[in-house]
Amino acid sequence: MKEKGFAFGKNWLSFLKTVNEDRIKEAVYSLKGMLLVENLNGKKFLDIGCGSGLFSLAAFKLGAEVFSFDYDEESVACAMELKRKYCDLPEKWKIEKGSVLDLEYMSSLGKYDIVYSWGVLHHTGNMKKAIENAASAVSLGGILFISIYNDQGFISIFWREVKRIYCSSFLGKAIVTTLFVPTLFLRALLSGLLKHGSPLYHFLNYGKNRGMSIYHDWIDWLGGYPFETSSPSDIEKFLASMNFELKKSKLTYGLGCNEFVFIRKK
């Protein structure tokens, strides 16, 4: 019997209510920073597992021709709503339902200058295949920008079980939410006080983190299942075997995602 996965789309639809011009600007800023560009004029941008569509919109704002897809129908609906609200050239942004694990589907999409997939491939149930298929869509000399959960050994195993319980039933969700949301809340208060002198610091400034929402990121973290992890060195070696060279990375030394920008060598 197939295990239940997290309803990412429902979380994104809730997040959509918080999206405003400031969040969009932060998403644009972070995308520019990781890609080391000022614009994406004339570039083709593929967003794999587009979720809310926020970073597809950011790529569009930077001048790219954007193609977005997601396996979750509610995520697709969320991205379409964001497009309706903020995209003034709808012909330059296409959105549809699709799976990165479907090689035939991926092959039908062609090649892209930039393939982007943030916090997605480790939730597919087959991370290795997902990375391979994502990489196959990158043109020669193009960019692969992915983020993958950091491998924390036994700690990651613990969180995988927490996520499995959350997704197992309504009761599992209630138990995990009741136990961990207050803990995350208190942790954010304490961190803000000790590091920044204000217990509300993270709540007031979290939008500067790629335009995200602290509460919706908590829910995504607690429920994000399937769940796989990898060390940065293993990701780099795996992509090197497919003729990709690491251009830039942003690493965490705890929980969370490592970000990688690879170039497909000509």
Report the CATH number at residue 244.
3.40.50.150
Residue 208, domain member (yes or no): yes
Residue 166, domain member (yes or no): yes
Do residues 235 and 262 lie in contact, with contact meaning Cβ atoms separated by under 8 Å?
A: no
Element (H, E) at 135: helix 127-135
Residue 3, domain member (yes or no): no
Residue 103, domain member (yes or no): yes
Query: How much is the pTM?
Result: 0.94
- In a shared domain, residues 119 and 246: yes
**Of 203 and 261, which is predicted with more confidence?**
261
Question: In the numeric block, which tokens belong to residue 174?
Answer: 């209630």
- In a shared domain, residues 217 and 185: yes
**Is the sign of the CA dihedral 259, 256, 118, 198 positive or negative?**
negative
Domain that holds residue 192: 154-223
Question: In the numeric block, which tokens belong to residue 229?
Answer: 């992890």
pLDDT of res. 2: 58
Over residues 194-226, the pLDDT tens digits come to 999 999 999 998 888 888 899 999 999 999 999
pLDDT band at 161, cuts 50/70/90?
Answer: very high
Residue 215, domain member (yes or no): yes
pLDDT of res. 4: 80
- In a shared domain, residues 29 and 129: yes
- In a shared domain, residues 124 and 255: yes
Who contacts 116 (Cβ-Cβ below 8 Å, separation ≥6)?
Answer: 45, 46, 47, 48, 55, 59, 145, 146
Element (H, E) at 126: none
pLDDT of 175 > 80? The answer is yes
Residue 2, domain member (yes or no): no
- In a shared domain, residues 179 and 143: no
User: Does residue 226 have a cis peptide bond before it, meaning omega lies within 30 degrees of 0?
Assistant: yes
Over residues 7-26, the pLDDT tens digits come to 899 999 999 999 999 999 99
- In a shared domain, residues 237 and 164: no
The C-alpha angle with vertex 26 and arms to 23 and 32, in degrees rounded to 5, equals: 145
Euclidean distance between CA atoms 82 and 175, whole angstroms = 32
- In a shared domain, residues 26 and 143: yes
- In a shared domain, residues 105 and 236: yes
- Tell me which residue has tokens 């138990």: 175
Q: Are strands 65-70 and 93-97 parallel, antiparallel or unpaired?
A: parallel
pLDDT of 262 > 50? The answer is yes
Q: Which of 99-108, 136-145, 209-218 has the lowest mean pLDDT?
A: 209-218
38-43 mean pLDDT = 97
First to last CA, the chain: 44
Do residues 52 and 77 lie in contact, with contact meaning Cβ atoms separated by under 8 Å?
A: no
Indicate the number of domains in the chain: 2
pLDDT of res. 208: 82
Residue 30, domain member (yes or no): yes
107-111 mean pLDDT = 97
- By CB atoms closer than 10 A (0-12, 13-18, 19+), residue 30 is buried
Residue 196, domain member (yes or no): yes
Euclidean distance between CA atoms 26 and 21, whole angstroms = 9
- In a shared domain, residues 159 and 206: yes
- In a shared domain, residues 91 and 163: no
Who contacts 66 (Cβ-Cβ below 8 Å, separation ≥6)?
Answer: 45, 46, 47, 56, 59, 60, 92, 93, 94
pLDDT of res. 64: 98
Do residues 44 and 130 lie in contact, with contact meaning Cβ atoms separated by under 8 Å?
A: no
- In a shared domain, residues 164 and 64: no
- In a shared domain, residues 38 and 112: yes
